[in-house]
Structure formats: structure tokens, C-alpha cells
Structure 1
Amino acid sequence: MLNILSCRNATNSIYKLQIVYQSLIKTAKYRNSVVCRSFNSSSKPAFEIKNTRECSKQFIDVINANTNVQNNVILYKNTTSTIFIKLVFFGWGFCNIVLALITFNPKYISTWFEDLTWTEYLKKNGITWMYFIYSIVAGPLGCVSLYIFNHRIIKYIVLHKGGKDVSIVTNNLFKNVDTITVPLEKVKTTMARDQMKNFLPLKIQGKMFFYLVDGQGKFFNEQLFDYTVGKAKAW
């Protein structure tokens, strides 16, 4: 009888121990799964979301850049003097005019209508004829080149109120400045501003040659310049 009771008590104790053991295992599995979920959801994904939000914010800032300025804004200013180009222009023109007057001979015209070959014509007129031709050809071409180059150097870039128009102020040999005002969409640069070395080529739609932004000048609002004049345009 005692043996039977002791066996029953032992069986009940083992059964209770099994129940407690199973409940502990279930609790441990649940805690491990909770820990893993919290670690996976709070560490790495949170970092990725943060980076995504930062990138999205930067992207939105670029798209929503405010170019609707309330007043005229100077984007660029170049104070470099072009007096040297002016001196070369007038000096070159003066020297070639003097050379043409010295080497001119009326027989250049009279012998032109004679029945002569090119060799006979050159022998009759001499080497002075070549100097004369050089002066009347190289003189004007050099002056035109210097004028165009000086006229293409930008002194100021001004964005007008509202951000729709822009003024390009350039040098001029016969007056202080020359101003060109065009819609913003008709102005673009051929490269990014941070890629500029010495000059930044600027193109105005409808003009034959490029305008030059000197690297020695100063950009007063670099971000606004990049979003307006320096912005890529499809034309």
C-alpha cells in the first residue's frame, strides 16, 4: 500500500516538473523572439530609415530651391581691369594704319589693270606690297578679335526680381559697360561651376560666341547661381 502511494506521489511530481519545464521553455522562446525582433527593428532598419529621410530631405531641397527672389540679386562680380586689352586694341590698330600709309604706293592700283602675271606683278611692286596687304588684312582682323574677346568677358551677372530674367553686364571698348537682359531660360553654362579652372563658358541663346566668367571673380550666391544660370537646359 505504501509502495503504491509512493509511486503515485513520484508520478505526480514528475508530471508537475514536466509542466513547469515546458512552460519555462515556451517563455524562453518567446523572450528570445521578442529580443530578436526588437533588435532587428530598432537598430539597422532605424539607421536605414534615418539615412533615407536625410537623402529625401536633400532631394526635396534641391527641387524646391527658391529662385523667386524679392529684389535684384548680384550672382557674380568681376573687378579685373581690361585696360590692357584696350591698350592692345588701339595700339594694334594705330600701328597697322601707320604701316599701311607708309607702304602704300599708287602703282599698286595702276599695275593691277596691266596684263601681268602674279610673278611679274610682285617683282614690279616689290616687298612693300606684301607689307601693305598684311596691314590692311591683319589690322582689322586683329581689332575685331580683340573687340569680341573684350566684349565677352563678364563683369556682372544680375538675377532680376522674380527670378525670370537675368542681366549679363560685359566690357565694351567704347563705353564703360554693355548690358544684355534676357529670360533666364536662354542662359546656360557648358559645365558645372565647381569644374571651372580659369574660365566658365556661358552661352546665351541666339549669340554666336560664348561669354566668359572669369575664375578670379567672386560668386556672391553660389547655390542660387547653380539653380539659375548654371542649371542645365535642353536647347
Structure 2
Amino acid sequence: MNNLIKIYLKLKPQIQFHRLFSQQHTLDVNTNVVKDVILYKSNNEKSFKVINFFGIVQFGFWNYLALTAYQTLKDVPVDKSSDDVWWRRINFGESKWKNSFTIVSFLIGWGILSVSWIYTLRAVKYLILRKGGKEATIVTYGPFGKNRMFTLDVNNISATQARSASVAFLPLKVKNHKFHYMVDMQGEFRNPVLFDHTAGLKRTWQ
């Protein structure tokens, strides 16, 4: 037991020095860059083209179904007391059924298209730290292949978790924006140290 205590006392100064050195290394990160620096880059153009194509096709299909139902379903009275299967005893041409089917089909089409567009517009393609390190530019994919970009103060970006703890995506919260922006972990972190000390920090706003 005494030998273990002696070994610990001998190593303790080294352990403390190592921790102080690590903290100093963190504080020494210079975010005041002299030119624009790409922190993150994703090259997933093909996948988002497929997602948007799928959304447009589904939008067309469900709207066509809604229009067809509204124009072709006829109000034909049925015998509800017959022994037929349940769906044969429903008059789908009746106003409440026809209108409901039309509205639901229409909403499904718009819903699929909206989700595909929102997902595309929230997927980060580039994250650029601007000269001086005070601002950053977020570039996202666009529904029709055209990129969308905006520049904001770095302090208005907050990572919901550490980059090292993220598996598939790293969500970034942007102040005054409703939804998170998603950083695909399969993308390339061009400068991970700068990322972790700028856009990758977790911030709390008033």
C-alpha cells in the first residue's frame, strides 16, 4: 500500500502538468483567421437530387389521385343492410367521403414534397468561417440544384452535441431559425479544430 502511495505522489505532478498543458492547448486555438476557411464540406448532390425527384413524383401522383377522385366518384346509393363486405356498403361518391378522400390525398402529396424540400434546405453543404473569425457562412442544398447560403455571427450558431459524440448527423441550431441544420458526419471536416471552437460549440442564448 505504501509503495502505491509513493508511485502516485511521484506521478501526480506529471498528471497535473498534462492537464494544464491540454487546457493551454485549447486556449491557444486562434479563431481570428486571416482568410476564409472551409470548416466542413459535403458532396452528396446525387442523393438530394433523388430525394427531390421522389418528392415531385409523389406530389404529382397524389394530386392526380385527388383530382381523379373528385371528378369521377359518383354518388350512388348502396344497400347498407346487405351482407356484402364492409367497403361495399360505403357510398364513396357521397360528399363527405369524396371530399375527405380528395383533401387527404392532396395533403399527403404536399406533405411529402414539403418534407423533402425542408430536409434538403436544412442539409449543410459547406460551412465557411469568414476572415476575422467573427462570422460564418452556411451553404445548404436547394430543391432544384441551386445552393442556398447565408452569413451570420458565429455566436448565433450552436451545436446540440459534440462532434466526437455524433454518429450520423450533427444538428446545428441557428438563432431565430425554427429547425436545426444537419451536418452529415460522412462529410469532410476540413479543419476540425477550428470547427470545434467556432460553429461546433454549444451556446445558450437569452
Superposed pair shares fold, TM > 0.5: yes
Q: What SS does the corresponding residue of 1:91 show, helix, strand or coil?
A: helix
1:91 and 2:57 are equivalent in the alignment: yes
One-letter code aligned to 2:29: A
Q: What SS does the corresponding residue of 1:174 show, helix, strand or coil?
A: coil
Asked whether the equivalents of residues 93 and 139 of structure 1 are also in contact (C-alpha less than 8 Å), the reply is: yes
1:1-16 map, 5 Å = none
Provide the residue aligned with 1:68 in structure 2.
32
Provide the residue aligned with 2:148 in structure 1.
178
Question: Which whole-Å deviations, capped at 9, do the CAs of 1:138-172 have from their partners, x for residues lacking one?
Answer: 22222212111111111010000110001110011
Asked whether the equivalents of residues 159 and 173 of structure 2 are also in contact (C-alpha less than 8 Å), the reply is: yes
1:101 and 2:67 are equivalent in the alignment: yes
Residues of 2 paired with 1:44 and 1:97: CA distance?
73
Provide the residue aligned with 1:190 in structure 2.
160
Question: Which whole-Å deviations, capped at 9, do the CAs of 1:16-53 have from their partners, x for residues lacking one?
Answer: xxxxxxxxxxxxxxxxxxxxxxxx9xx98775434433
Change (3 A) 1:49 1:140: same
1:15-54 map, 5 Å = 47-54=11-18
Which residue of the other structure, out of 141, 150, 168, is the alignment partner of 2:138? 168
One-letter code aligned to 2:40: Y
Q: 1 or 2, which has the higher helix percentage?
A: 1
Larger deviation, residues 192-201 vs 81-90: 81-90
Larger deviation, residues 214-223 vs 94-103: 94-103
Q: Which has the larger radius of gyration?
A: 1
Q: Which has the higher contact order (CA 8 A, sep 6+)?
A: 2
Q: What SS does the corresponding residue of 2:182 show, helix, strand or coil?
A: strand
Residues of 1 paired with 2:104 and 2:9: CA distance?
77
Asked whether the equivalents of residues 173 and 181 of structure 2 are also in contact (C-alpha less than 8 Å), the reply is: yes
Change (3 A) 1:65 1:130: same
Asked whether the equivalents of residues 99 and 131 of structure 1 are also in contact (C-alpha less than 8 Å), the reply is: no
Asked whether the equivalents of residues 168 and 179 of structure 1 are also in contact (C-alpha less than 8 Å), the reply is: yes
Alpha-carbon shift at residue 122 of structure 1 (Å): 6.3
Asked whether the equivalents of residues 40 and 189 of structure 2 are also in contact (C-alpha less than 8 Å), the reply is: yes
Alpha-carbon shift at residue 126 of structure 1 (Å): 7.7
Alpha-carbon shift at residue 58 of structure 1 (Å): 1.7
1:208 and 2:174 are equivalent in the alignment: no
Normalised to the residue count of structure 2, the TM-score between the two structures is: 0.79
Q: Unmatched 5+ residue regions in structure 1? A: 1-39, 109-119
Q: What SS does the corresponding residue of 1:167 show, helix, strand or coil?
A: strand
Change (3 A) 1:46 1:99: same
Residues of 2 paired with 1:124 and 1:73: CA distance?
63
Provide the residue aligned with 2:77 in structure 1.
none
Asked whether the equivalents of residues 152 and 210 of structure 1 are also in contact (C-alpha less than 8 Å), the reply is: yes
Q: What SS does the corresponding residue of 1:232 show, helix, strand or coil?
A: coil
Provide the residue aligned with 1:57 in structure 2.
21
Residues of 2 paired with 1:48 and 1:136: CA distance?
69
RMSD: 2.7
Number of aligned pairs?
Answer: 183
